[in-house]
Amino acid sequence: MAAYNKLAGPAVEAAGGRILARGSRVLAHDAGIAESAVLVEFDTLEQAVAAQESTAYQDALVALSHGVERDFRIVDGID
């Protein structure tokens, strides 16, 4: 995780993302799972997709390895 965190944050920010929340203190309700979560805001959906597909972010995923189960979502926001 340390190697991933070192690479992922700068990759997201370089692509225009703003990290709004990051932490392991998650209060889950209903069918939610209380796991670590990160919330990132981008100006557009396309910008978020490009950030996820970027070489820098893909390098961060390689550093993460297969030992972590991820639930990654890109959601179109509202104005």
Question: What is the mean predicted confidence (pLDDT) over 39-46?
Answer: 96
Sign of the CA dihedral running 62, 74, 12, 28: negative
Q: What is the pLDDT of residue 59?
A: 95
Assess whether pLDDT exceeds 80 at residue 67.
no
High-pLDDT (> 90) share of the chain, %: 61
Assess whether pLDDT exceeds 90 at residue 19.
yes
Assess whether pLDDT exceeds 90 at residue 44.
yes
Sketch the domain layout of the chain as residue ranges. Answer: 2-64
Residue 24 pLDDT class (50, 70, 90 cuts): confident
Fold of 2-64: Alpha-Beta Plaits (3.30.70)
- The Cβ of residue 42 has, within 10 Å, a number of other Cβ atoms equal to 19
Give me the chain's average pLDDT, please: 91
